[in-house]
Amino acid sequence: MTVFTPPKEVKDIIGFGTSGLVGDISDSEVLKMYKPGDQESTNEINREILIYKTLGSHENIMGFIEASEHGVKLERMKHGNVRSYLSSNDVEMGDRVKWCKQMCRGLAHIHERGVFHCDLNGSNVFIDKNFNLKIGDFAGSCNQNTESLVLEGARYYLPREDWTPTAKSEIFAAGSTMYEIMQGEKPYEYLDDKEVEKRYKSQEFPDTSCIPYVGEIIRNCWFQRYESADELVQAICSVEAEAINKAA
């Protein structure tokens, strides 16, 4: 059995992801570490490093600091992922709409750089110290020269003939993630995956008529009415001002 000893700069292990262990370095940095003796973990973190280098810097993408012999150093997201945060905190509707916009802007940048995230959902979008949203966890993502290492979960997956990611499959996942941000739960939270898949194939999606500001936008994502993430950003921006004014 391999005994794991974290590097000295790691104060504590604060996360156990599928692709690696997350170590606390400072108030501003974490280290996502290779799992010892796990080739899949090594492959996924190396993929994440490749993708971060492809993406460069963007205000709605988790900050890449550097690759190291132990894994990858990343910007610390003080408030964790959206799914966990919403499970124990109240958030104003205006802020939820802002997060939807920020996620979509991050997605537009990802696509502009020729990358597909491939696993967009509420556990892979994070809240920084200033309560801004950033997309992270690119361990299964792909660019123009690689294949994806993961697939979206049932509630975020656009039914299609093959598993190849497209702009529309990513926008579909963005719609489900916006639903999660606005409602505080996954689409069809209490149904099993097979039933969700069956309904999605029949284009039976959760009701969004009660979701303020972005309900119709979410539905448009599910029905593939946006050609690009840029178009989705424009739709969000058109309703954000109304949300901010009502919150004021």
Round the CA-based radius of gyration of the chain to a whole number and report it.
Answer: 18
Would the pLDDT of 1 be above 60?
A: no
Residue 5 inside a domain? The answer is no
pLDDT digits (tens, 9 = 90+) for 163-198: 899 999 999 999 999 999 999 999 999 999 999 999
Would the pLDDT of 125 be above 60?
A: yes
Whether 120 and 67 map to the same domain: the answer is no
CATH number for 25: 3.30.200.20
* Contact present, 188 and 206 (Cβ < 8 Å): yes
User: CA–CA separation, 90 vs 86, rounded Å?
Assistant: 7
Whether 60 and 177 map to the same domain: the answer is no
Whether 37 and 145 map to the same domain: the answer is no
Q: By 3-state DSSP, what share of the chain in percent is helix, strand and coil, each rounded to 5?
A: 40, 15, 45
Buried b (16+ CB within 10 A) or exposed e, 65-95: bebeebbbbbbbbebebbbebbeeeebebbb
User: CA–CA separation, 195 vs 231, rounded Å?
Assistant: 31
Domain count, the chain: 2
Q: Which two tokens stand for residue 195?
A: 């039933």
Could you tell me which residues are beta bridge partners of residue 134? 126
CATH number for 94: 1.10.510.10
Planar angle of CA 130, 230, 248, nearest 5 degrees: 45
Residue where a domain stops, chosen among 57, 75, 93: 75
Whether 29 and 56 map to the same domain: the answer is yes
Whether 110 and 208 map to the same domain: the answer is yes
Whether 46 and 159 map to the same domain: the answer is no
Would the pLDDT of 3 be above 80?
A: no
**Which has the closest alpha carbon to 126: 173, 92, 78?**
78
Confidence of residue 247 (pLDDT cuts 50, 70, 90): low
Which amino acid is it at 124? N
User: CA–CA separation, 129 vs 14, rounded Å?
Assistant: 17
Whether 91 and 37 map to the same domain: the answer is no
Whether 137 and 216 map to the same domain: the answer is yes
Whether 34 and 134 map to the same domain: the answer is no
Whether 218 and 117 map to the same domain: the answer is yes
Provide the CA 179 distance to its chain's centre, in angstroms.
13
Whether 57 and 156 map to the same domain: the answer is no
Residue 3 inside a domain? The answer is no
Residue where a domain stops, chosen among 75, 96, 119: 75
Residue 38 inside a domain? The answer is yes
Confidence of residue 12 (pLDDT cuts 50, 70, 90): confident
Residue 110 inside a domain? The answer is yes
Residue 87 inside a domain? The answer is yes
Whether 126 and 227 map to the same domain: the answer is yes
pTM over 0.85: yes
Residue 188 inside a domain? The answer is yes
Residue where a domain stops, chosen among 56, 75, 94: 75
Containing domain of residue 221, as a range? 82-247
Residue 169 inside a domain? The answer is yes
Residue 208 inside a domain? The answer is yes
pLDDT digits (tens, 9 = 90+) for 98-115: 999 999 999 999 999 999
pLDDT digits (tens, 9 = 90+) for 45-56: 999 999 999 999
